[in-house]
């Protein structure tokens, strides 16, 4: 999900509690990493957090206490989320969706207001978690549906929402099967693939061959963390968002008979 999408879907109402902010980031040793984190909130709340790198978390009764490197503290709640399957090189990674309010704002509230606030935060966390699952499915489902359709050889009516991939699918769908595909249909992808390093090309070739992550680890004698880093670099260089999008592109490449021209 992009920062814009997250901000537009999860910006909390700060009319009663100025500075409230919603944060999505990776959990590392009971700390919420702000490196590449997503923020939703007014500038007053989100702006002060973006300059930091980590938030420490401490259980503090009904609300957790969150402290950033600047010494500023927040109270709030968070929900831990697992985004990757057990066979993914990222399976050990854990993320959290947190709703935070500056501690000084909460300290000024009365007891009844604090109880109401706790209820509101819990509800927002639940809605945010459900919303993130919904949005994830909304964007991933078209890709998975397209992947299954392409594997079956059916390109009719496929839309992934990814402009370049949809353009390739449309060209492949319209072309005369008795004629070769246009020479430039995968030109952009091929050009980006040439920027991969030797080891990144090794991983990509094995993906082209249909190997899963477990088989790649055995084949290259590398660790899960090494594969995770290499995968992130490959996705970035190829202009893709994740493994599912890569697999989708690979199926198109195979269907077009271009697998031997990529790397």
83-101 pLDDT, tens digit per residue, is 765 555 566 778 888 888 8
Spatial separation of the C-alpha atoms in residues 226 and 32, rounded to whole Å: 23
Q: Which two tokens stand for residue 70?
A: 């600047």
Neighbours of 34 (CB within 10 A): 20
169-217 pLDDT, tens digit per residue, is 888 877 766 676 776 788 888 888 899 999 999 999 998 888 988 899 9
State the burial class of residue 96 (Cβ atoms within 10 Å of its Cβ: 0-12, 13-18, 19+). Answer: buried
Q: Which two tokens stand for residue 220?
A: 């290259």
pLDDT beyond 60 at 137? no
């Amino acid at each position: 999900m992009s920062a814009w999408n997250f901000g537009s879907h999860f910006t909390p109402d700060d009319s009663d509690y100025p500075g409230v902010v919603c944060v999505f980031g990776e959990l590392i040793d009971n700390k919420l990493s702000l490196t590449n984190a997503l923020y939703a909130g007014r500038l007053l709340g989100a702006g002060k957090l973006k300059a930091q790198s980590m938030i420490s978390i401490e259980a503090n009764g009904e609300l957790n206490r969150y402290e950033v490197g600047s010494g500023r503290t927040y109270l709030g709640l968070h929900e831990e989320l697992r985004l990757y399957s057990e066979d993914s090189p990222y399976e050990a990674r854990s993320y959290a969706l947190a709703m935070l309010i500056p501690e000084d704002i909460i300290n000024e509230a009365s007891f009844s207001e604090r109880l109401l606030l706790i209820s509101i935060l819990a509800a927002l966390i639940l809605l945010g978690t459900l919303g993130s699952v919904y949005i994830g499915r909304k964007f991933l489902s078209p890709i998975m549906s397209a992947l299954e359709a392409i594997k079956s050889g059916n390109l009719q009516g496929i839309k992934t929402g990814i402009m370049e991939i949809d353009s390739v699918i449309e060209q492949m769908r319209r072309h005369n099967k008795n004629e070769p595909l246009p020479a430039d249909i995968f030109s952009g992808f091929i050009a980006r693939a040439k920027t991969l390093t030797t080891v990144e090309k090794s991983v990509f070739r094995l993906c082209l061959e249909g190997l899963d992550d477990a088989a790649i680890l055995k084949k290259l004698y590398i660790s899960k963390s090494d594969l995770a880093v290499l995968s992130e670099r490959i996705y970035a260089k190829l202009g893709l968002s994740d493994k599912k999008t890569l697999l989708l592109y690979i199926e198109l490449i195979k269907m077009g008979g271009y697998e031997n021209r990529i790397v």
